[in-house]
Structure formats: structure tokens, C-alpha cells
Chains A and B, each alone.
Chain A
Amino acid sequence: MLRSALNNHPIKIFMEIPYTVKPRPDTGLYNAKVGIWLFLASEVMLFGALFSSYILLRVGAAPGTWPHGLLNVPLGTINTLVLITSSITVVMAWVSLKMNQFGKFRLYQAITLLCALAFLCIKSVEYHDKFMHYQILKTDGTYVDGHLVEKTADHVTLNGFETKDLSEINEPKHGEHHEHKPITVPTAEIKKIGNYGPWHNTYTAIYFTLTGLHALHVIGGALVIGFLWGPGSKMWKTDPERFTNRIEVSGLFWHFVDLVWIFLFPILYLL
């Protein structure tokens, strides 16, 4: 630690972080913007690796084992629309600051935060549904597939259907719907039982990995946006240009989160 030669008191050195507002002459950009794009580049590789894993798993899956129609398409569609709405509100929040309208900025970012919350709530409902969805392999080789109604020491009751052919569960023929009814299976007849968690098969493993990582990004982005909406917004009074740049950078991250979902939705829910 540096000390004063006069009275031996510690000397504090304040260094201003350069190029937080003004563009750096060689890049033409403020530093945070270069930083976020470098970070997003690494994120593309992270999700790219997982997408390529998805392709490998899907193409390598044996016929009749890759599930179709397992996810709730209306809920996935609503979540897509929620994220698109949050993308426009993020960009409008930045526009509001550029036009010196702080009140509008607060309003738009509040909507963004509500959208993030709605997205996570809907995702939780979908996850809960998968954890309540069970498949039983009976000792006679029959499969019972459906949602858990009751589980006791003596028996398990599922609201679903029974079949001997696993591909009927994974790849139902177009327009074919099995009639769901409560089916009680005594514990003695159960060879294997498990829910549709990440451990169920390769599809649920990659589904939970991809959507879980994406949900973590939604939480991370919402925390940053929430901070800049709340306590972090004090900077608007002292350094409005720097604050506007912070909003732009957080917005770029949020758009990336939306971008990832644009690809996740069709490959996981629809194809």
C-alpha cells in the first residue's frame, strides 16, 4: 500500500474506468459493448455445443425411441410470445432513455421483468408436469404411461393408457389419441417405474439440459435488469449516458436469450 511521505497515511488511488461512455478510438465502441459481444460469442459456442449434442442424439436414436408430442405446444407458444414481448419492451426501454423519458423506461422494464417471471412460471408448470408423468414397465412386459394419481406401498395409479408397444408412447400416429383412464398397478406387478425427469431417456436429458440452461440465463438476465430498474437506476441522475449504455448492454444479453429460445421452441416442441 502506498503511504504519504508527509504523515504516513495510506494513499487511495482512484482510477476512472476508461471508455464507459465515449467510444474507444480504435474500436469505435465503448468497452462494455465489446465486452458483451465477446461474452455472447462464447455463449453461442456453449449453446452451439449443446445443439450439436441434440443433433447427434436425435440422429443416433433407434427408430421409435425419440418421443414426439411429449411437450405442451400451447404453453411453449405462449412462452415464445412472452419472450418476444419482453424483447420489444427491452428495446423500447433503451429508446425511452435515449429520448430522456425515464418514467417510460421504468414502465417498459417493469413489463420485461413481468414477462421474465411469466416465462419462468410457465416453464415451472411444464417441468412439474414432466415430474408427475410416469411410465411403468410391468412384469408381463406391458407399459403403463400417464400422470400420477396415487402412489402407495401397495399400488400405483396413473391416469393414462396401457400398451405393449413402446413406440405407441414415443411416436403416436398423427391424429391418434389414446383414451386416458385411471389404471391401478399393484406394486408386485411393477418391474420398473420412473417419471419423465432428465433421467428418463436421452430426449428428456437434452430437453432439461437445454431448457434448464436457458432458464438460468432468463434468471440471470432478469436479475441484472431488475437491479438496473431498481437500485442501479440511481446512476441515471449522476451519469445518464453511462446508465443508458448499461441498459443497452443488458438488452443485448436479453435479446440473445430470446434468440436461443427461437431455436429451442421448434426443435424441442414441434419437430
Chain B
Amino acid sequence: MSDQHSDHDISKHVRGYLIVFGALIIGTVLTVWASRIHFGAEGSNTANIVVALIIACSKAFLVAGYFMHLISEKKMIYSILAFTVFFATGLMYLTVWSMEPTNLIHFK
């Protein structure tokens, strides 16, 4: 959130907030609807997981970008978040990597 917004700027943003609110509701309905349809091959729910995560990430982008004003933030915040993204991605990567049975960590 830029700290130097005028009242006029803010009232312009209100319309944007309401559009994001509507999009989030649609996204929620879409998430439930998509979960009732089986995508991909029989016996595998990989495609359903991918679809659900795409919708969740889109909703997260709307909340973080517009409600938390990350699309117009200062460099300092982006620097903090760059570290967070690096470590959080590393954590997830290590988790997924450790599940691969051919990895060296599984050899005794």
C-alpha cells in the first residue's frame, strides 16, 4: 500500500477491491465444482490436484496482490519476500526430492 495515496486514488481502488472480491467468490465456487469432475486418467487424481492448485494460486495472487497491495509495494517488502520465496520453495523442493526412491539419501 503506497503511503502517499490521496482520497481520490483510494476511492478509485474501492471498485478494484469489489471486483477482486467477486473474483474470489467465483474462484471458490469453481474450486468446489472442479473437485466434482474427474480430470485426467482413470485412477489418477494428479490432474485434479493441478487444477485445484492453479485456482488456489490465482486466488492467493488476488488476495496478496490487491488486498495486501503487493503489486504496488516498496522494494524493501519485495526483498523480504524474495528470501521467503527462496526458502519456502527450497523446503518444498527438498520434500519432493526426498520422496524420489532413487535418491542417494535412501541408500544404506
Contacts and interface: CB of A to CB of B under 8 A. Distances in A.
Interface residues of B, number: 49
Contact of B53 (A48, A73, A266): A266
Contact of B25 (A52, A55, A59, A84): A84
Interface residues of A, number: 51
B34 to A, nearest CB: 8
A45 B84 CA distance: 7
Contacts of B5: 98
B7 A99 contact: yes
Contact of B48 (A255, A256, A271): A271
A262 B56 contact: yes
B95 A52 contact: yes
A270 B3 contact: no
Contact of B10 (A33, A81, A98, A263): A98
Interface in B1-35: 1, 3, 5, 7, 10-11, 13-14, 17-18, 20-21, 24-25, 28, 31-32, 35
The residue among B56, B67, B80 with the most chain A CB atoms within 10 A of its own CB is B67
B60 A263 contact: yes
Interface in A19-69: 23, 27-30, 33-34, 37-38, 41, 44-45, 48-49, 51-52, 55-56, 59-60
A100 B68 CA distance: 20
Contact of A95 (B10, B31, B63): B10
Nearest to B93: A52
A174 B48 CA distance: 14
Nearest to B94: A52
A51 B93 CA distance: 12
Given A266-B56, A270-B52, A29 B67 contact: no
B25 A38 contact: no
B63 A262 contact: yes
B79 to A, nearest CB: 10
Interface SS, A side? helix
Nearest to A254: B67
A84 B76 contact: no
Nearest to B62: A262
B68 A252 contact: yes
Contacts of A112: none
B21 to A, nearest CB: 4
A37 B83 CA distance: 12
A41 B84 CA distance: 6
Contacts of A213: none
A92 B17 contact: yes
Contacts of A27: 74, 76
A29 B77 contact: yes
B76 to A, nearest CB: 4
Nearest to B13: A95
Interface of B: 1, 3, 5, 7, 10-11, 13-14, 17-18, 20-21, 24-25, 28, 31-32, 35, 38, 45, 48-49, 52-53, 55-56, 59-60, 63-64, 67-68, 74-77, 80-81, 83-84, 87-88, 91-92, 94-96, 98-99
8 contacts: A28-B76, A45-B91, A48-B87, A55-B92, A80-B28, A87-B67, A95-B13, A258-B63
Given A48-B91, A263-B56, 9 more contacts: A41-B83, A41-B84, A48-B87, A48-B92, A84-B25, A84-B28, A87-B21, A98-B10, A259-B64
